[in-house]
Amino acid sequence: MLIIEVVYMDSKKIQMPRIFHIGSGVINETGDICRDLKIDGNLLIVTGDLTQKIAGILVKETLENSDYNVSVVKIDDATEKSVQYVEDKADDISLILGVGGGKVVDVSKMASKNKNIDFISIPTSAAHDGIASPLASIKQKNQNSLSLYAQAPIGVIADTDIIRKAPFKFLSSGCADVISNYTAIKDWKLANRLHNEYYSESAAALSEMTAKLIIKSSDSVKKGLEESVKLVVKSLFSSGMSISIAGSSRPASGSEHKFSHALDKIAKKSALHGHQCGVGTIMMMHLHGGDWKFIKNALNDINAPTTAYDLDIDPEDIIDALSIAHEMRKDRYTILGEKGLSRSAAKNLAIKTGVI
């Protein structure tokens, strides 16, 4: 699957959530939160088969206890068809609540934007910074996924008790996604110097600060710990905010994401997005002449993959992905340049950093 980022955002308009609730059991306050936000009318919950059992039923109950009329729709994937399905169910709806993982949240974002209604993000895992950003990755009919401008949620409700029970790989993926901000910022600065691309100091500072915080605390990110969940979710929230401030995904997406997108195209089976970006960050930091071992050690601390073996991806696919990574979103200049890496240079880079 090829992922191409096509993002259209108004840099003069910054969308940010009005509220951010995080803690154990906060999902039971969803009804009260909606009342505090002055939400009226009929509500629609978007969820999946598993996430309905994990959290969707609870959300519906708390909303009904607050005298809301609530409908539920379940989706399986983040496709144009799923977005249209939700839109068809959203007539006479004043608010959509996305209760689930990244696919559910992305479809909820896109459908709410297309229907011009508000949206609340209620993540059941913390695998990437999409929980609060205004971007949505939607698979098209041609099987390519586009990262589209949707809208930021008006609220994020992150129940740490629910998220900490999700498989730890999702939390480590979220950490790795934030750590990848390091090379994304380096690429953005490079594009600004060489091509005079628009650069936001405030967005870059927030993104970089968030990545530094995760790395500083990487040895404390442990399975099942509520404090670990709080740290990661807050970091993902901040990373999403940097995207809103910048008016593009630049603060959180550079050459490391190009590598991940190339892997999605080449590999027989992709790994988690954040994990792929983390491995990409190791190699891209080396290309930037930075301390790639520092990145690798931080990823090891959170038990995130650092090699092709860890990702369960063929080493040849790593080399091939590096060789074509520059072709992913050609309008976004990075350390890979316009011609990219030769296959021999790609192989040497992967070997040098221990990825293969």
DSSP per position, 289-343: TS-HHHHHHHHHHTT---SHHHHT--HHHHHHHHHHGGGTTTTS--TTTTT---H
**Residue 8, pLDDT above cutoff 70:** no
**Residue 1, pLDDT above cutoff 80:** no
How far lies 39's CA from each of 42, 62, 115, in Å?
9, 14, 16
User: pLDDT tens digit string along 268-319?
Assistant: 888 999 999 999 999 999 999 999 999 999 999 999 999 999 999 999 999 9
Q: Are residues 187 and 253 in the same domain?
A: yes
**Residue 16, pLDDT above cutoff 80:** no
Cα separation, 318 vs 279, in Å, equals 10
Q: Are residues 231 and 342 in the same domain?
A: yes
Amino acid 145: pLDDT: 64
**Residue 4, pLDDT above cutoff 50:** no
Q: Are residues 53 and 89 in the same domain?
A: yes
Alpha carbons within 13 A on the beta-carbon side of 191: 23
Q: Are residues 201 and 72 in the same domain?
A: no
Q: Are residues 101 and 226 in the same domain?
A: no
In this prediction the pTM is 0.90
Strands 145-149 and 3-5: parallel
Region of residue 209 (left: phi > 0; alpha: psi -120 to 50; beta: else): alpha
Cα separation, 12 vs 324, in Å, equals 34
Amino acid 23: pLDDT: 94
| Cβ atoms of 224 and 160 closer than 8 Å | no
User: pLDDT tens digit string along 238-264?
Assistant: 999 999 899 889 999 999 999 999 999
Q: Are residues 100 and 152 in the same domain?
A: yes
Q: Which of 154, 168, 149 is nearest to 95 (CA)?
A: 154
Q: Are residues 253 and 200 in the same domain?
A: yes
Percent of the chain with pLDDT over 90: 81
- 98, 131, 163 - which closes a domain: 163
Amino acid 137: pLDDT: 84
- The total of structural domains in the chain comes to 2
State the CATH number of the domain containing residue 197.
Answer: 1.20.1090.10
User: pLDDT tens digit string along 115-143?
Assistant: 999 999 999 999 888 888 888 888 776 56
What does the mean pLDDT of the chain come to? Answer: 92
User: pLDDT tens digit string along 33-48?
Assistant: 999 999 999 999 999 9
Strands 118-123 and 95-100: parallel
Q: Are residues 128 and 229 in the same domain?
A: no
Look up the domain containing 41 and give its range.
3-163
Q: Are residues 155 and 176 in the same domain?
A: no
| Cβ atoms of 106 and 130 closer than 8 Å | yes
State the CATH number of the domain containing residue 90.
Answer: 3.40.50.1970
Per-residue pLDDT band for 144 (boundaries 50, 70, 90) equals low
Q: Which of 274, 313, 276, 281 is nearest to 102 (CA)?
A: 274
- 127, 147, 163 - which closes a domain: 163
CA-only gyration radius of the chain, Å: 19
Q: Are residues 126 and 182 in the same domain?
A: no
Alpha carbons within 13 A on the beta-carbon side of 322: 27
**Residue 65, pLDDT above cutoff 70:** yes
Q: Are residues 195 and 154 in the same domain?
A: no
Amino acid 120: pLDDT: 97
Q: Are residues 100 and 184 in the same domain?
A: no
Average pLDDT in the 83-103 region? 95
- 134, 163, 192 - which closes a domain: 163
